[in-house]
């Protein structure tokens, strides 16, 4: 309901303000819906005098809207989550390249499109979580260990069509090749405690309840439970341990939230300024902590629960490969019987 209302209100605003070039306006399409993002936008306007009009909706809905609007689109910037969706937008020709020394300096090469079509502004890690007392963490230190027969009937994970799992498989393909990646997927399927269902939080609750012993989930879902005002949700988190896998080799899989300047942006200069603002220290704190994610530049600030998970080695594969491997990833999951 919130998304629908925001979409309607902002659409009317755009209808009353035709898409004419104005360097004091920024038209933003965003799939992020976090309270701290409000402070981020307000701070940007205070610092630059550029007013932000925005539409908020689901990632796929926004991409489809942009595709349908074509050259008539009033949008300047698309903010979305997951490298796979950024890749989809890229494949539809929705972005234009941006050359900015500040963005190049602040954002590591592995976290931005090589031609400047989009840039990452927060990081989401996908570790292994386990039930304390039921699993010896020393036995499950790599993603590959999830396929070990010792864990038969003990793994909970969401569906293969979920973008997080598609991106994880994309990283497995990049690291080991498609044949080994498929062997891994078949081994994990053989270890399912139940058919895939629900979101990441559901997997964590299932582990805490003893329905399974091991799960994969993005860190922000776990930290959200740690920080919850609900005692029962905090108790779920207290029963779980976190393992950042593959610390002896390629590192833990990461994904991103990111943004790009749209091909038909009427306010290009404002759009580039906005991306540069997102790369700054203040915005990084707002952008990342709004969803308990990691900043792309600098340490975690103002989020002791997230910082408490400790430093970890991250997979350095360029996140553009996660999208490029998406179709192959789904085919591998399908052949493995991962539904």
Q: 260: which 2 tokens?
A: 């790009």
> How far out from the chain centre does Cα 201 lie?
15
User: What pLDDT, on a 0 to 100 scale, did the predictor assign at position 34?
Assistant: 75
pLDDT, position 36 = 75
**Closest of 258, 317, 298 to residue 124, by C-alpha:** 258
**What is the C-alpha separation between 124 and 255, in angstroms, rounded?**
5
pLDDT at 302: 87
Q: What is the pLDDT of residue 20?
A: 42
Whose CA is closest to 77, among 255, 256, 276, 254?
A: 276
Ordered per-residue pLDDT tens for the chain, 339 residues:
334 334 433 433 443 344 444 458 999 999 987 777 888 899 999 999 999 999 999 999 999 999 999 999 999 999 998 898 999 999 999 999 999 999 999 999 999 999 999 999 999 999 999 999 999 999 999 999 999 999 999 999 999 999 999 999 999 999 999 999 999 999 999 999 999 999 999 999 999 999 999 999 999 999 999 999 999 999 999 999 999 999 999 999 999 999 999 999 999 999 999 999 999 999 998 877 888 999 998 889 889 999 999 999 999 999 999 999 999 999 999 999 999
Domains by residue range for the chain, with CATH:
2-124+255-307 (3.40.190.10), 126-252+319-336 (3.40.190.10)
CA pseudo-torsion sign 283, 289, 291, 296: positive
Residue 324 CB coordination number (10 Å): 18
Instruction: Please provide the distance, in angstroms rounded to a whole number, between the alpha carbons at the two ends of the chain.
Output: 29
pLDDT of 287 = 77
- What's residue 23's pLDDT? 52
* 70: three-class secondary structure by DSSP: helix
């Amino acid at each position: 309901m919130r998304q629908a209302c925001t979409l309607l209100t902002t659409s009317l605003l755009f209808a009353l303000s035709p898409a004419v070039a104005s360097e004091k306006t920024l038209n933003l399409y965003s799939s992020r819906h976090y309270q701290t993002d409000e402070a981020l936008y307000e701070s940007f306007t205070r610092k630059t005098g550029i007013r932000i009009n925005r539409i908020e909706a689901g990632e796929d809905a926004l991409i489809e809207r942009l595709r349908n609007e074509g050259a008539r689109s009033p949008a300047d910037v698309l903010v979305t989550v997951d490298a796979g969706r950024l890749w989809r937008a890229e494949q539809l020709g929705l972005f234009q390249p941006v050359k900015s020394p500040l963005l190049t300096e602040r954002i590591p090469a592995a976290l931005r499109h090589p031609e400047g079509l989009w840039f990452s502004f927060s990081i989401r890690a996908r570790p292994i979580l386990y039930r304390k007392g039921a699993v010896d963490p020393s036995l499950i230190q790599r993603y590959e260990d999830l396929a070990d027969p010792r864990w038969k009937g003990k793994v909970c994970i969401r569906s293969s069509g979920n973008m997080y799992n598609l991106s994880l498989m994309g990283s497995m393909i990049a690291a080991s090749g498609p044949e080994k990646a498929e062997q891994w997927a078949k081994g994990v399927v053989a270890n399912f405690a139940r058919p895939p269902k629900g979101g990441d939080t559901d997997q964590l609750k299932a582990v805490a309840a003893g329905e399974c012993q091991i799960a994969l989930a993005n860190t922000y879902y776990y930290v959200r439970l740690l920080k919850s005002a609900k005692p029962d949700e905090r108790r779920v988190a207290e029963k779980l341990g976190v393992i950042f896998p593959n610390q002896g080799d390629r590192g833990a899989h990461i994904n991103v939230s990111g943004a790009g300047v749209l091909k038909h942006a009427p306010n290009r200069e404002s759009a580039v300024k906005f991306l540069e603002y997102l790369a700054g220290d203040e915005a990084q704190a707002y952008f990342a902590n709004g969803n308990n994610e990691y900043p792309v530049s600098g340490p975690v600030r103002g989020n002791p629960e997230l910082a408490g998970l400790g430093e970890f080695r991250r997979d350095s594969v360029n996140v553009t490969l996660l999208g490029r491997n998406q179709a192959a990833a789904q085919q591998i999951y399908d052949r493995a019987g991962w539904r």
